[in-house]
Amino acid sequence: MSHEDPKDPSRKKGGFWGWLKGGAEEPAKAPAAEEPATSAPSAPPAEEPPAPPAEVAEAPMPVEPDAIPVVEPEAPVPPEPVFVPEAVVEPEPPPSPEPERPSGSEPTAPAPTPARGFWSRLASGLARTASSLGQGITDLVSKRKLDAETLEELEDVLIRADLGVATAARIVEAVGKGRHDKMIAPEEVKGLIAAEVEAILAPVARPLMVDAAHKPFVVLMVGVNGSGKTTTIGKLAAQWVGEGKKVVLAAGDTFRAAAIEQLKVWGQRTGATVIAREQGADAAGVAHDAVTQAREEGADILLVDTAGRLQNRAELMAELEKVVRVIRKLEPGAPHAVLLVLDATVGQNALSQVEAFTRIAGVTGLVMTKLDGTARGGILVAIAAKHSLPIHLIGVGEGADDLQPFAARDFARAIAGLE
């Protein structure tokens, strides 16, 4: 028993800690279970049940007192309601309506955006033409007086830009007038070019008007392969349907299955009715069906696609004549508009296309596509100067809004490289 006395001091020590802590360590009885073996010999003293809590103190060591205060910080968990101010932050959104007040000006901002957007696309599309023309002018007149030789070289620069011989001569005359043997700034020359080009284009810049007296108003689209006829039809359909008009499309390009499918897609996209037959069918037959259907539906506009054909292929041009005859037989006075779609990238070849299609189909107006990314945009000026046909629309991209009414001043300034 005396061997147990040395252990008693340790237990007393534990008792001292127990006395120091008071009864607070009683909840720590769980760890006491870890040393039941040590507490077994001390079982005889019945009055020392408080000893077990003392043993508990040995396991946790003085660190446990620290743990107790740690539990107390857990109480601060209630401060979590501090997040309530976040709810208060939510009311801060109401200040957002304040910016809504300037919204009155916001509608004004978006309105000019489309115009600037199209001008940007037009200027970008004609950038290659303007760059080629502008660089030639700058190199020519920057350090030279306007003598006969300089004016002759200027004429060559203008002709290379596809503006045409007549237009080039007209511009050179305007530039040289009163400026012989004088220095002239490149920007001044560009301004004179823009003024002359605008004077040529202004009389032929006319929007495509739909005459409501004709129902349906029949529009026949003609042109060579790859000029963009089918795409132009789709874009026009989108614009007219958007204006509330009822539109019918005739898939008259029966040579290409892709053209038929493309027109069907445009029909689904715009809600326009599409009249089509199988590939290889008679184009005049498709035109007949389309006119009949358009009249039955009370359509406002009928757009008739045709197969692309070279102006020098007599048999294909004869087929086009047949389509025109069939339409005219069913609807006297139709087609009411015959639009020749020209690819700007073909340059001078476009002049012969205008002559041939006007002779066969009676072209009433022009649509020029693919002006974006070509250095030959000047051809439109040459066509206007020679044929004086109305220019209704120009295309500077693939989007439906990239087909826009032709504006002479914008085109003239873009081609001259002016902002």
CA of residue 398 relative to chain centroid, distance: 10
Assess whether pLDDT exceeds 90 at residue 342: yes
> What is the C-alpha radius of gyration for the chain, rounded to an integer number of angstroms?
44
CA of residue 12 relative to chain centroid, distance: 87
Same domain membership, residue 398 and residue 268: yes
User: Given this model, what pLDDT does residue 373 score?
Assistant: 65
Assess whether pLDDT exceeds 70 at residue 218: yes
The CATH number linked to 334 is 3.40.50.300
Average pLDDT of 131-148?
A: 87
Same domain membership, residue 328 and residue 386: yes
Same domain membership, residue 297 and residue 382: yes
Domain end call among 46, 74, 102 = 74
The response to whether 378 counts as a known ligand-binding position is no
User: Given this model, what pLDDT does residue 362 score?
Assistant: 93
Average pLDDT of 82-101?
A: 45
The response to whether 244 counts as a known ligand-binding position is no
In a domain, 91, yes or no: no
Which one is predicted more confidently, 378 or 32? 378
Task: From 380, 379, 400, 378, select the one nearest 392 (Cα to Cα).
Answer: 380
In a domain, 103, yes or no: no
pLDDT tens digit string along 170-200?
999 999 998 888 999 999 999 999 999 999 9
Assess whether pLDDT exceeds 70 at residue 115: no
DSSP string, 51-118: HHHHHHHHTTTTHHHHHHHHHHHHTT-TTGGGGHHHHHHTTSSTTTHHHHGGGGTTTTTTTHHHHHHH
pLDDT tens digit string along 233-292?
999 999 999 999 999 999 999 989 999 999 999 999 999 999 999 999 999 999 999 999
The response to whether 229 counts as a known ligand-binding position is yes
CA of residue 414 relative to chain centroid, distance: 21
Average pLDDT of 157-165?
A: 90
Same domain membership, residue 230 and residue 195: no
Q: Which residues pair with 391 in a beta bridge?
A: 205, 366
Q: How far apart are CA 276 and CA 274, in angstroms?
A: 6
- Using a pLDDT cut of 70, give the percent of the chain over it: 70
The response to whether 369 counts as a known ligand-binding position is yes
Same domain membership, residue 300 and residue 369: yes
Same domain membership, residue 345 and residue 229: yes
The response to whether 231 counts as a known ligand-binding position is no
The response to whether 138 counts as a known ligand-binding position is no
Count CB atoms within 10 A of the CB of residue 46: 6
Same domain membership, residue 171 and residue 58: no
* Non-local CB neighbours of 352 within 8 Å, separated by 6+ positions: 311
User: Given this model, what pLDDT does residue 236 score?
Assistant: 96
Same domain membership, residue 307 and residue 346: yes
In a domain, 44, yes or no: yes
Domain end call among 169, 204, 239 = 204
User: Given this model, what pLDDT does residue 287 score?
Assistant: 97
Which one is predicted more confidently, 185 or 9? 185
* Number of compact structural domains in the chain: 3
Same domain membership, residue 398 and residue 271: yes
The response to whether 362 counts as a known ligand-binding position is no
Q: What is residue 226's three-state secondary structure?
A: coil
Average pLDDT of 375-390?
A: 91
Count CB atoms within 10 A of the CB of residue 380: 29
The response to whether 226 counts as a known ligand-binding position is yes
Domain end call among 74, 105, 135 = 74
Contact 79, 44 (CB under 8 A): no
Phi, psi (rounded to 5 degrees) for 285: -65, -40
In a domain, 88, yes or no: no
Q: What's the mean per-residue pLDDT of the chain?
A: 78
The response to whether 307 counts as a known ligand-binding position is yes
The response to whether 403 counts as a known ligand-binding position is no
User: Given this model, what pLDDT does residue 214 score?
Assistant: 96
In a domain, 84, yes or no: no
Q: Provide the residue range defining the domain that includes 379.
A: 217-407
Same domain membership, residue 366 and residue 237: yes
Indicate yes or no: pTM above 0.85: no
Same domain membership, residue 221 and residue 283: yes
